[in-house]
Structure formats: C-alpha cells, structure tokens
A and B are shown apart, each in its own frame.
Chain A
Amino acid sequence: MRKIKTASDLEKWRQDIIKKQKRDEIVVSVCGGTGCHAYGCKKVRDQFAKAIKKNGFMDKKIRLRFTGCRGFCERGPIVTIQPQGVFYQRVQEKDVDLIVSETINQGKIIDRLLYEDPNTKRKIDSEKEIPFYKAQHRLVLGKNGLIEPTKIEDYIGVGGYQSLTKALFEMKPEEIIEEIKTSGLRGRGGAGFPTGKKWEDCRKAQGNMKYLICNCDEGDPGAYMDRSLLEGNPHSVLEGMIIGAYAIGGSHGYIYVRHEYPLACKNAEIAIKQARRAGLLGKDILGSGFDFDIEIAKGGGAFVCGESTALISSIEGRVGEPRSKQIHTVTRGLWGKPTNLNNVETWANVPLIIEKGSKWFASIGTEKSKGTKIFSLVGKVKNTGLVEVPMGITLNEIIFGIGGGAKNGRQIKAVQTGGPSGGCIPASLFDLPVDFDSLTQVGSMMGSGGMIVMDEGTCMVDVAKYFVHFLEEESCGKCLPCREGLKRMGQILDGITEGRGDEETLMLLEDLSQVVGDTSLCGLGKTAPNPVLSALRYFRPEFEAHIYQKKCPAGVCTSLIQYSISEDCTGCGACAKVCPMKAIEGEKKQIHRILTELCSKCGSCKDVCKSNAVIVQ
C-alpha cells in the first residue's frame, strides 16, 4: 500500500484499482457476516479458494471475495456470483464443487440453492428479485456485498474516501456542518437528535482538544445493524468520522465497541491501520494539514454503556454509569473536553450526504425523518434479517412485504420496536409510517432499530416481564427509581404471570411505571416502563385475563396453563418418549393422558405431536 499525500494521488490509486478489478471476469462473493459465520461460511469460502486453485481456470480470472453482512442472515451462508448476479443461499461446504463446476464453469444455475419465495413457492435467482431485498433501499448497507471489509482497495474501488477529499479540499468546516444540517440527518442511535446541530454545538464549544466517539455499543437483544456495518464496511464509518472531525475541529476519535463483537473489533482495527498507512488517518491527512486519529475502545458489554455519558465513563476507565447531563457532552465530555458522540449508522451516512448532497438525502424519507434506517427484523415472520428502508415506510410494508408475513399460518399480533425499552405496537396500527415521531406517538420508539414481530402465541404480559427483567439486570443501579423500581415492577409482573395479581396490582404497576419513567436519571430508566405501558395500553385484556381468570390466553405463562391430550390422539407415543418428567402415560394406539401433578409444562409434547392433540388451556 502506498502513502497518499494528495487528493489526486488518491484518485489515481482508485483508477488503478478499478482497472485491476476489471480484469477479473468472475467475482464470487461469500458473505462473511457474523450470522453466516455461525452457519459455517468460513469453510465455504476456504473450499472455494481450494476449488478455484485446483481448477486453475486458465482462461477466466476469478476473484473470491469474503464480504460483510448481506442482511438476509436467516438464509446464510449466502454466495453471489457476478456478473450473472446469481444468489445462492444456505450454501454448504459440500455444495462448493458443484457451484464451481456448474455455475462458474458452465454458467448453469443450481435450482436447489436458490431462494424460494414461501408465499409463491417460486424459485428466484437474482438478489434484486427476492421480496426481502426488493422493497429495501440499501444506501448504507448496500456496499457491504461489494467489498471485502479488510481490503481498503475494495472500498476505494467503489468510490470510498471520495467524500473525504471533497470535504477537505472543496468545503469549509462550516459548510459541511450546514450540509449535514440541511440534509436533516438525525442520530440513528435512537433519540434522533439532529446531527448537524450537535456538530455545530461541538464546533462552537471552547477548547483546543476535542474528541469524537463512534458508539458501537449495540446492546438491544436482536439488533445488530451497527455490528454489521462496522464489520462489513468499516471504512465508511472511518470516513464519516474523519469528515466529522474536520468539520468539528476534533483531534482524536474513539470507536467504542463491545467486546462481544470480536469480528467488528478486528475489522475496524485492520481498517484503522490501513487508513493510517495510506495517510487517511494521522498527521496531515491527504496533505491537507489536518490531523486526526482514531482508536478502538473495547467495552465490557453493559447495556447501559450505550448511553453516552456512561460510555464516556467507560472509555475513561471508570464504571459505566450515566452522569449528570446538565452540561452537555459537546461542551464537556470525554476527559472533560468537548466530545461529539454519534452512532455507527449515523457516521456511515455522512459520506453519502457529502457525496450526493443534502438535497438528495432530504428527498428520501418523511418531513422530519430523512434518509433510510436499518432495522433488524426478527421474530415470527418468514424472512428475518437486516433491512434498510426509507423513513416513512409503513410497518405493514416491512412486516408483510419484506418480512413475508407470519410463519406457520398464525396471526401477527404486534411488533415490538426500539429494543427493550421500546413499546409494543398492535397489528391494528400497522399502517403507521415508520419515523422517529410517529413511533414515539404510539408509545414506542425508533431506538436503534430493533423490530420483533409477535404472533398470537406470544403472551404480552410475558413480553413485558421479559423486558423489565432484562432492564432490571442491565440497570447500572445508580439512580433510585430505576434500581429499586424495576426490581419491584419485575416482582409485580412475576406475580401476575404466576396468578398472584389482584385488583390493585395493575394500578400499582401503572403508578410505579410512571414514577420510574418520569424520575429516572438516564434514558434507560426513563424508557424502561415503555414495554409495560404500551402492553397495558393495547393489550390490557390479556393482563386482566391473567389476574381475574387466572388464565394466559397465549398459553405461555406456565403457572396458569395446563396441558392435556384431546381425543385426536393417535397413541403414537412420541409425546411420552420426549417427556422429560415421564408425565405422559397411555397404551400404544390408545389415547394418552398427561399426569398434571408431574407435568413441568415444558411443551415438548406439543412440539412433537403430529396430530395436534396436545391442548393448552
């Protein structure tokens, strides 16, 4: 790699890279995101490398690329082959030789590896046609499939660091801030604070040492868009931060990553080293006279450390506890110096805005929420994974369009957005446009973009209980209402699900929720009652059923349900075999019986019963 000293050198380098890449006739991309890793993509890639080497491909130049996350994690490992644009899913090590001999050598498509639309049962061979991708608008995530995250050349080849040269040599810091302001970009970490305004405040803050922080302490269960970005396209985050630093006057940056994200840490570290070596970080960036450097700070994985002041404490080597925000971090943050903190996704949006202009960016989305947002769509839908959509798209479009609707023919009941401190939105409100303000209005929030779809088999009391316990665990314990209040809320919810609720319980729960929400110190506590309050708002009858009828309508709360076997039983004995408590008895071919006093209500019998004879009441 060469050290670049001017903008034109960078351009020249880019042209060289593009020229070199053009020589490759075929590009095989194996997804190397954490999800696909779990499915064994590393073996697939190695197998490809071996096969390509073995076959020699005298006449064809083949390039193997190990990309970042493609979003459709449920279907991993994912392999695409260019220029045909073939999209293979659930590829195993053993499939590789076949792909090489059939698809690469002969251009034949292997039907078995194609994606099948569960609704139409149609096999689809190109990525663009897959419903999961079709409705998406992959501005930020899009490049993940085109580059290998550990190769700076790939990023530069797709136009990377172009925005940086533009910012450094064609724009004044104030102009950049103005551009970000007019673009309407709002913080993607959850609160949706206008990014340009934050930058402006930090630029105006007194002090010659200013810090930038990239928050990659993604702690919401099920959310992983920040990880996928930092893993799959770390240079876009770096580029955003360097532009931000130039605009703000920052001199040092930190990327705060939780240690549970080893691949993100590794890729970001490699990217930083490469950028330094290339002269894109460090002293006198691209010969502009501007100095800026970035380092990685690893977090211990506490949920509360995603809160900005707790995160700052953690970088400083102290216990991650929120501090008083009376003085904003833009004036006095890390080590007491002005500090600008943005989320990974926010930083990754910056190069796009600089490249394509604020007008273009502002044309996407709604009046107050611009651009796209990445969601992690999980739960009881057919297609799960990371989806990037323009702001303002409806929940229906996401859940039924991209997600493909409910699994197993059940009814979708609600979606929980915004992570553990978000709220549950009932299916009746699925026409709601997804943006910062509408979500807040219905008692939930954008949060970092988690979206958990629930169907009729989900008990809303149980969901509320789960999230309250999660937050009770993750509360730092500093302020009284959050520490003590969540504990008691959890206790009340435990009581309801165990049939110990009475008339006063719901009142007490609501009162306590209000106290915790109104009086807690930081966002964690303030939003912690959301799952409870929104569940009470939209699903109160479910709570009442638990309290007055001592029944769990969804059949989830074990204290309130009983398993029995109906007359549909064929007497196959599968249930008795699987029962860990030996609580099922019955002769072969005879209707079986569950011994209630032994039954642990694990539900294994229901799962194995082919004739749907196990009933929950």
Chain B
Amino acid sequence: MIKLKIDGKELTARPDQTILEVARENGIYIPTLCYHERLSLIKSCRLCLVDVEGCDMPMASCATPVVDGMVVQTRTERVERMRLEALKLLLVNHPLDCPVCDAGGECQLQNRTFEFGIKENQFPPERVDRPSREYGTPLIRQWTERCVMCLRCVHACIDIPGADVLDVVDHGFSSHIEAVRKENCISCGECLHICPVGALTENLSPIKGRRWQLDRVQTTCTFCGCGCQLELNSLADRKVVKVTTKGEAGVNQGSLCVKGRFGYDFVNHPERLQRPLVKRSGVFVEASWEEALALVATRLREVKEKYGGQGIGGISSSRATNEENYLFQKWMRACIGTNHLDNGAGLANGSSLYSMLASTGWPAMTHSMDDVAQADLILIVGADPYEDNLIFSNKMRQAIGRHDAKIILVDPRKTQWERWADLWLRPLPGTDLVWINGLIRLLIEKGGYSKEFVGSKTEGFEAMRLSLERFSREFVTKESGISSNDLEKVAGLYMAAKKRAIVFGSGVTQHLSGAETVKGLCNLALLTGETEREGGGLYPMLTQNNAQGACDMGGLPEFLPGYERVDDEKARRRFEEIWEGSIPERPGLSYTEIFEKIHEGKIKALYVFGEDPFLTLPNLERLRNGLHHLEFLVVQDLFMTHIGSYADVILPGVSFAEKEGTFTNMERRVQRVRQAISPVGEARPDWKIISDLSTAMGYPMKYQTPAEVMEEIASLVPSYAMMTYANLEKGGVQWPLENGRKKRFLAVEYRGAAEQPDERYPLWIIPRGFHYHYGIGTTTKRAKGLAKVFPDSCIEVHPEDAKRAGIGEGDKVKVISPRGEVETICRISEDLPRGVAYFATTFFPVFVNNLLTSGQDRSGLQPEYKVFIGRVERR
C-alpha cells in the first residue's frame, strides 16, 4: 500500500492507481471531460491537472500514478486558473444552443461551466461552420459544432466493440471527428452513450423530452442472452422514447448493441394487439377479456375431457419472464395435466443445454461472462459474438488487451473476429465434431491434458478415448478439410495456454449433430479442467433473452423447475404436494414432436405463447396441414403472428416494458424486469393472463404480483432460493453452480451431413442471424431504427459462385432448395469460402424455414437450421 496526501487528507492507495482514481475513491472531486474509466487514457481535455509537490508543471491526474509520499493539491490557484482558461477557450466556439440540445441538463460542459461560474469570456463568441457529414449510422446525428474534441467517442469505438469507425480528420483548430470508416459501423451507440456533451444525439424518436420530463426505469434488455441493463425513458407513462444506460449497471457497464439501444420502438408499434380477438365464422372479431378467457377455459376443458390432458400441448416463450414461464408450465402440468410443453430455447439452444447437463451437470455457462476476460486463449466455434452477443464480444476483447489472449476462430465465414484471431480455421459446414475429436485425440497423444483432473474429477475418459479411434489427422483432413498442420497449430496454442475459454453458438448447436458437437466441446474442456473455477470456461451463446430462465423454470417436456426430471418420483411428488395437483409422470413431447403429433391427430389443442412456429420449424406446408387436426388453437402474443392467423382465440400480452418480472441471462444471472409504461390498449401482462385462465379452469392462481410468483419459485427451486425481489433490487444475482458429482466424458458419434450438394443444388446454404435483427424478427423488424439500417434479408454469395449462377451484387434472386424457394437480394462477398452461401435473414418476412431439411437429430430436439443445399437464381 502507498501513502499519499491529497488536499491535506492522508490517504492510502494501491500502487497501480492514478491520482484521479484515488481522489475519486475518497470523494475528492477533480473535474474531467475526456476521462472515462472504461477507456484507455486520452488526456485531451487537460481539466484534471493537479499540482504535485516537487513538480514544476501541473500533472494530469488521470495519467499520473501515485507514488509513496506524494503530496497532491487539486485546487491550487494555478490549476484552478488553468482549468478556467481551458474551459473558456472551449466556450468561445461552442454554440450555446443548450435550450434545444438533447444533452441539456446532463451535459458535462454545462456542468463544468456552472461549477466554474463562467459568466463572461474575454474572447468574443465565434461561430465555426463545419461541413456536416454523414455519420457512421443514420441512427445517430452528429453535431460537429457542439463537439469539444474530448475524443472519447474515437477511443470508445476502438476500445470497446473494436469497430474502429471514427477518427480525427484535419488538424489544429480545424480538427474534427468524422466517421471515416463508415462500413465498420455497427450502430452500437457506444459513442452516443459516452459523449459528454450533445455532439452526438439519437436520431430516431420523433418525440423528445427534456431530461426532467422523462421517467427512467432500469430494466433488463429483451433481446439476446447477455441480459444488459438499460433504462427505458418514457413520457407520460405511455411511450418509450429513448434508451439510456448507466455506466456502472449490469454486465454491460453502459454498453449496448444496436438492438438494445435503438430497437425499443416495437413497444409502441401501431400493429400491437390491443384487445382479445375471437374467430367467428373464419373472421377475427374483438372480444372482451371475460368473454375471451371464458371461451379459452371452456374449450380447453372440453378437449381435456374428451382426450385427456395429453391431448393438449403448449409452447412457452423464452422471451417471457421467469415468472410467466413458471406459471405456464405449472398451469400445463398441474391444471391441464400435460407434459407436452417446450419453449423456443429448446429449439435454438436445446442441444447445448442437454449435452452440458449430461457432461458437466450444469445446463448453463460454466463461468461468468466477465471471466472470459481472464482467459489467455479463446476458441470460438460456430459463434459470432460480435454480431449476435456484442457485449460478450466486448468482454472477449478485454482478454486480448489484458492477457494477450490468443484467439482461434473456427468458422467457414470470415467474421469480425477474424481480425483479432491468431489462427482461423474454415471447416466444411457441419463437420465441427470431426476436428474437435481430432484435436482431443491429438492432445491426448501429446499429453496435453491434466491427468490429475481427469483422474480425480471425471469419469468416462477411457470410453471417450476409445471412441476417438477413427479421428486420425488424415480423417480430419479428409472429412472437415482442416489440414494436419493447422490442427497441430491449434494443439500447440491450446497447450501453451493456461486458461482456455471455449465459446460456441448457434453454428454448433443448431445442427443435426449439435448435441454431439457440444458433447465434443465438453470433452475438450474437461481434458484440462476448463469447466472448473480456475479454468477458462465453456461459454454457450444463447440467442434469446430468457433462454436460460425459460428452461430453468421447467418450460421443457421432461424437466420440472430446477431441472428435476418429471419421471423422478420423489421430485414429482414434492412439486405435486406444493402445487396441490397431479403431474403426469412420463416426459412430454418436444417442440418439434408436438407438431408431429398434431399431424398425427394425437394433440388436439395447442396453446402458443410468444412463439411463431410457422417461422421457426421446417416444412411450412406440413405444419399448415397439421393444423386441420387441431380442435382449438390459442395464441398469446404482442403482434399478429403467422400461426396466429390460424388461431381460434388471440390474447394480447405485453412487452418487457409493460410488466414486472425477471429474466435469467446466459451467465445464469437473474435480473429484474421493471415496468416503464402502462400496457398498450387493453393488453394484459402475460403472467396475469395465465393465472386468470388457470383460475377459470378451476385451478386457482391468486397471485397479486410477479414478486409472489418468484417467492414460490424461490421456495421450490434450490438454485433460485436467493432470487426474491428484495435481493434482486440492488442488481442481478447468479444462480450458483454446485453439484458434488464427477464430470462425465461422453462418447460421441459423428454422422455426416444429411445432404450433400449436387449438380442441381451446388451450394451449401447457411442461414445466419445478424447484428441488426434478432430471432425471427417479430419485434426487430417492427423497430423503425433497426429496419432503417438493415431493412432486408440477403443471400451472400462468393464471387465465383455468383459468376457461375450469372448473378451480381444487388440482384433480385430466388433461393431454391429441394423443399421450396424464397426471394431475396444477392450480395457478393469474399468473406465466404467457395461453394457456401450465407443467408442473412431473420426469417420474417422471408420463410427461410421453408427451405430447411426436415431431418431432426436423434433426440428429436433439434431441426437442422444451419445448413441445407440449394442454388441461387436470378428472379
């Protein structure tokens, strides 16, 4: 520890701290404009200068490390005068348009001017006309003349997401910030968030409010699995007009991606369902809640009486809250008497959940998101965190900065992370398991595994090892296209590292062989104990905001809340006792199986909550035909969906902005969702709809608030024992990873792809998500801001493939697979390997699911989302 004196106060500090940090920690105020704790030092504003005894010149406190015995004065006449002069210089040409500036009321320049009590300036005000140029994104407006050139935005853009869009152009007094590399911009708004004045403002909402007119409610983002904390700014309890972030809150520490920051206006979209709809003579008519609820309760009861509870299926929503998912499955199980329920996360991430549960015993990320910043090697497989989980990508970047982490990227497509990768492998689509097994075999041969950990903490190693017999280097090269040299390099980097993080995403999980591939990755992680506290971690990237929570809450056919199996009698009895109802003892049907059984006429009524299977399941025609067998279909959603148009009753739920609850993010962190505005129209919170339905069906649910639901969850599910709203008030809480059991190596089996390109269908086509949209696009396609930047889907084709097909950049094309065809636009991209095309799509309004093969993996969970064969033709 170091002892020093600041303004006469005796203080202690760590040697790695700067004067500014120590001062702030101890409540001593030093003014700043450019300093930001998350950015590398900028030192441009010179306001934080302090006098240090023994130094002639004042020192920049943001950059001066503390030294033992240092004596610092923060308010000498000299430094105060210098700060004042500097500020005055800024004010000479800063337009005093504060009354119409968005930053008015929370502008750092305004605050500093007030602090220093500047009333006059010896230099006459000067208007500097700067040419206005297009900014990196249409979602942000740049006011060059308001800029104080603190350069925070430039640093933020490089330091945090690594986009590197902005730079200083020109020099001297003419210098200004410009988006010089617009093509790199991902509209994340880091610059907007970090601008201390009004030089960057949101260019989206037509309605603006002054800082003090807006209500700010801190809540959890509704898009990806990162679970960012954000503040919904609302006007008069009716309309969300802006999203802001607080620096210190949540995993995101103030950062967001474009969806979180600019995707909010779907909430007030005119197409929102505002009243229940009931179909009469084939036409939807508006109905009162009483009428609609009574109808649903009656019809479901009739079906149950006729066919038993097993004749009813339910799809729950991985975008709804924990409380709602809990109530939904409780209602399905204890009231209706069926285990035929699943949620969207089962489709998108099911394979990682089940395989990780089998291997590590935890159906979740083995570490916290922050831990990835401690790794010294990151293996990225089939994931594009930069596009899909930006906040996690930011944390991964910290590992490079802090630990010089080596990056191995495995992806056929050149993603942004290729820029930062030390090694980039491009396996043939669908062959990840081959090289993973090859790598494990190689590591075992080279002794690159922890014998001690494997011996004492795991089981099944021998069986796994034997199952790798065929994965010789030659086989790997032949099957996956990865050369033995590259595999050696991976092994070399892997063995040289100490903390190896494995990041994988939908490129692994959403394959037919997804579950097997995840097992392979688990095996790899177990070799060196990366799953343990001191290890690097295994990080599945979850696509939905509450994918983790929906599964935790038992929104799965075989699991009760807390992953207790329904066929485990003891567990079931415990729930039956508290729920005062009986639960069917056999595991139910999965998402895809439910629709199979509808087709077979075994499921007669279906309740779909916040999902649109018509956009997520393959083979639309078959799905549609199947619906004829249904006697009753209820859809509960925000918007009219594709399956919704076939429903008998539609119940309008509410968005995350209009209700209370919790989401669990992909690092198992349970976080509060708080109501910002009143429900749109007559829409009702989903938990309320489910409770009322259950009550109407004779199984009373008398919860007054979601908090009460959470109390029940906490009492039933050990991992959620701490999750009362009182505990969550201060911030999210992670559910703990505790189980005494040994980790398991799992023997894995590799089967080749379901189909191979041929003459008629010469391309592998891989659907991919992208930064600006999310899931099937129900919400993001309705967000004006997002649609503005990226309105259409497109197919990316390698130049040579395009030449062969006679198509060019921007052409309208048809994408044809053996199942069907869809129309889109062609983009030529050299980022892809030859023979592979990427379909950047949110499904809506392009029915890409129509092109997918209808094969499923053996466990019946996972459709093949990530690859099919096809061709591209000019329209």
Let me know if B86 is at the binding interface, CB within 8 A: yes
Q: A318-B167, A481-B89 given as contacts; is B173 within 8 A of A487 (CB)?
A: yes
Residues from chain B with Cβ under 8 Å of A326 in the complex = 41, 63-65
Q: Does B744 contact A (CB under 8 A)?
A: no
Q: Are B149 and A519 in contact (CB under 8 A)?
A: no
- Residue among A476, A486, A518 making CB contact with B168, cutoff 8 Å: A476
**Cα distance A473–B49 in the bound complex, in angstroms:** 25
Q: Contacting A485 at CB < 8 Å: which of B89, B122, B171?
A: B89
B82 interface residue, CB < 8 Å from A?
yes
Partner of B171, one of A476, A504, A521: A476
A520 at the interface (CB under 8 A from B): yes
Across the A-B interface, the 3 shortest Cβ-Cβ residue pairs: A477-B175, A484-B89, A324-B41
User: Can you name 19 A-B residue pairings with CB atoms under 8 Å?
Assistant: A318-B167, A319-B168, A321-B168, A324-B40, A326-B63, A476-B171, A477-B175, A477-B176, A478-B44, A478-B149, A478-B175, A480-B45, A480-B46, A480-B47, A481-B86, A484-B173, A518-B58, A519-B46, A520-B46
Given A481-B89, A512-B85: A474 in contact with B173 (beta carbons within 8 A): no
Question: Which residues of chain B from 146 to 197 have a CB within 8 Å of any chain A CB?
Answer: 148-149, 151, 167-176
CA distance A321 to B172 in the complex (A): 11
Q: Which of B65, B123, B151 contacts A491 (CB 8 A)?
A: B123
Chain A CB within 8 A of B43 CB: yes
Residues of chain B within 8 A of A113, CB atoms compared? none
Q: How far is the CB of B697 from chain A (nearest CB, A)?
A: 65
A477 touches B92 (CB 8 A): no
Q: Shortest CB–CB separation between residue A265 and chain B, in angstroms?
A: 23
Residue of A318, A475, A488, A504 touching B89 (CB-CB under 8 A): A488
Point out the residue from A304, A477, A478, A515 that lies within 8 Å of B82, measured CB to CB: A515
- Tell me which residues across on chain B come within 8 A of A476, comparing CB atoms: 168, 171-172, 175
Which B residue sits closest to A324, measured CB to CB?
Answer: B41
Distance of A30 Cα from B64 Cα, bound (Å): 54
Q: Is the pair B41, A521 in contact by a Cβ cutoff of 8 Å?
A: no
The reply to whether the CB of A544 lies closer than 8 angstroms to some CB of chain B is no
The answer to whether A481 and B168 touch across the interface, beta carbons within 8 angstroms, is no
From B58, B64, B174, give the contact of A477 (CB < 8 A).
B174
Tell me the minimal C-beta distance from A515 to chain B in angstroms. Answer: 4
The answer for the CA separation of A144 and B345 in the assembled complex, in Å, is 76
A508 at the interface (CB under 8 A from B): yes
Not counting A324-B41, A480-B86, A480-B89, a sample of 18 additional A-B residue pairs whose C-beta atoms are within 8 angstroms of each other reads: A326-B41, A472-B172, A476-B168, A476-B175, A477-B176, A478-B149, A478-B151, A479-B43, A479-B45, A479-B46, A480-B44, A481-B86, A484-B89, A484-B173, A485-B86, A485-B89, A511-B81, A519-B82
Q: Are B173 and A477 in contact (CB under 8 A)?
A: yes
What are the interface flags for A467-511 relative to B under an 8 Å C-beta threshold, 1 for contact and 0 otherwise? Answer: 000001111111111011111100100000000000010001001
Cross-chain contact A511 with B85 (CB below 8 angstroms) = yes
A302 at the interface (CB under 8 A from B): yes
Complex alpha-carbon distance, A324 and B93, angstroms: 26
Contact residues in B for A481 (Cβ distance below 8 Å) = 46, 86, 89
B150 to chain A, nearest CB (A): 8
Q: How far is the CA of A485 from the CA of B89 in the complex (A)?
A: 7
**Known interface pairs A481-B46, A518-B58. Does A488 touch B123 (Cβ–Cβ under 8 Å)?**
yes
Does B495 belong to the interface (CB within 8 Å)? no
Cβ of B86 and Cβ of A475 under 8 Å apart? no
> Using Cβ atoms and an 8 Å threshold, which residues of chain A touch B174?
477
Q: What's the least CB distance linking B705 to chain A, in Å?
A: 51
The yes or no answer to B846 lying at the interface (CB within 8 A) is no
Nearest CB in chain B to that of A302: its residue = B171
Interface positions, chain A 309-367, Cβ under 8 Å from B, are 318-319, 321, 324, 326
Residues of A within 8 A of B168 (CB): 319, 321, 476-478
Chain B residue at minimum C-beta to C-beta distance from A512: B85
From DSSP, what is the main secondary structure of chain A's interface residues?
Answer: helix
With A472-B173, A512-B85, A518-B82 in contact, do A477 and B123 touch (Cβ < 8 Å)?
no
Is residue B805 within 8 Å, beta carbon to beta carbon, of the partner chain? no
Chain B: interface residue total (CB-CB under 8 A): 38
Query: Considering residues B149, B169, B172, which has the most beta carbons from chain A within 10 angstroms of its beta carbon?
Result: B172
Question: Which B residue's beta carbon lies closest to that of A487?
Answer: B173
What residues of chain A have their CB less than 8 Å away from a CB belonging to chain B?
302, 304, 318-319, 321, 324, 326, 472-481, 483-488, 491, 504, 508, 511-512, 515, 518-521
Q: B90 within 8 Å of A by Cβ?
A: yes
Q: Smallest distance from the beta carbon of B82 to chain A beta carbons, Å?
A: 5
**Minimal beta-carbon separation of B60 from chain A (angstroms):** 8
Q: How far is the CB of B177 from chain A (nearest CB, A)?
A: 10
The reply to whether A475 and B58 contact each other, CB–CB distance below 8 Å, is no
In the assembly, what is the distance between CA of A32 and CA of B44, in Å? 44
- A63–B41 Cα gap in the complex (Å)? 58
A479 to B174, alpha carbons, bound, how many Å? 13
Task: Choose among A474, A479, A485, A512 the residue with the greatest number of B CB atoms under 10 Å from its CB.
Answer: A479
B75-101 contacts to A, CB under 8 A, are 81-82, 85-86, 89-90, 92-93
Chain A residue contacts of B170, Cβ below 8 A: 477
List residues of chain B with CB within 8 A of the CB of A519.
46, 49, 58, 82, 86
Given A480-B44, A519-B49, A324–B82 Cβ distance below 8 Å?
no
Given the complex of chains A and B, what is the CA–CA distance between A519 and B44 in angstroms?
Answer: 10
C-alpha gap A446/B290 in the complex (Å): 90
State whether A480 and B90 are in contact (beta carbons under 8 Å apart), knowing that A326-B65, A519-B49, A521-B43 are contacts in the complex: yes
Report whether A521 and B85 are in contact in the complex, using a CB–CB cutoff of 8 Å. Answer: no
CB distance from B117 to the nearest CB of A (A): 18
A318 to B158, CA, bound (A): 12
- Say yes or no: A475 contacts B122, CB within 8 Å: no
Q: Which of A319, A480, A486, A518 contacts B172 (CB 8 A)?
A: A486
Q: Does B42 contact A (CB under 8 A)?
A: yes
In whole angstroms, how far apart are the Cα atoms of A600 and B512 in the complex? 86
- Taken residue by residue from 289 to 314, chain B's Cβ proximity to chain A (1 for < 8 Å, 0 otherwise) reads as 00000000000000000000000000
Q: Contacting A483 at CB < 8 Å: which of B42, B122, B172?
A: B172
Instruction: Report A208 CB to chain B, min CB distance, Å.
Output: 12
Residues of chain A lying within 8 A (CB to CB) of residue B82? 515, 518-519
- In the complex, whether B753 has a CB less than 8 A from a CB of chain A is no
Contacting pair A508 B173 (CB below 8 A): no
For A324, A479, A480, A487, the residue with the greatest tally of chain B CB atoms inside 10 Å of its CB is A480
Complex: A512 Cα to B82 Cα, angstroms: 9
Task: Choose among B40, B63, B81, B172 the residue that contacts A473 (Cβ–Cβ < 8 A).
Answer: B172
Complex Cα–Cα for A504 and B123 (A): 12
Closest to A477 in B: B175
Q: Min CB distance, B62 to chain A, in Å? A: 9
Bound-state Cα–Cα, A476 to B177, Å: 12
Bound CA–CA A546/B688 (angstroms): 83
As a 0/1 sequence over residues 28 to 54 of chain B, the CB contacts with chain A under 8 angstroms (1 = contact) are 000000000000111111110100000
Which residues of B lie under 8 Å from residue A478 when comparing CB positions?
44, 149, 151, 168, 175
Q: Is the CB of B173 within 8 A of A475?
A: yes
**In the complex where A508-B122, A520-B46 touch, is A484 in contact with B175 (Cβ < 8 A)?**
no
Residue numbers in A under 8 Å from B93 (CB-CB): 484
Minimum CB–CB distance for B740 against chain A, Å: 42
Chain B's closest residue to A472 (CB) is B172
| B236 touches A (CB below 8 Å) | no
Q: Which A residues touch B172, using CB under 8 A?
A: 472-477, 483, 486-487
- In the bound complex, CA of A476 to CA of B151 (Å): 12
B496 contacts A by Cβ under 8 Å = no
Residues of A within 8 A of B118 (CB): none
Task: For residue A315, give the distance in angstroms from its CB to the closest CB of chain B.
Answer: 16
Q: Which residues of B contact A515 (CB under 8 A)?
A: 81-82, 85-86
| Chain A contacts for B64, CB-based, 8 A | 326
**Complex alpha-carbon distance, A270 and B680, angstroms:** 75
- A522's nearest neighbour on chain B, judged by CB, is B43
Kindly state the separation between the CA atoms of A132 and B40 in the bound complex, as whole angstroms: 52
Q: In the bound complex, how far is the Cα of B86 from the Cα of A520, in angstroms?
A: 10
B789 within 8 A of A: no
Bound together, the chains give a CA A324 to CA B49 distance in angstroms of: 14
B497, CB-defined interface residue at 8 Å: no
**Which A residues lie within 8 Å of B46 (CB)?**
479-481, 519-521
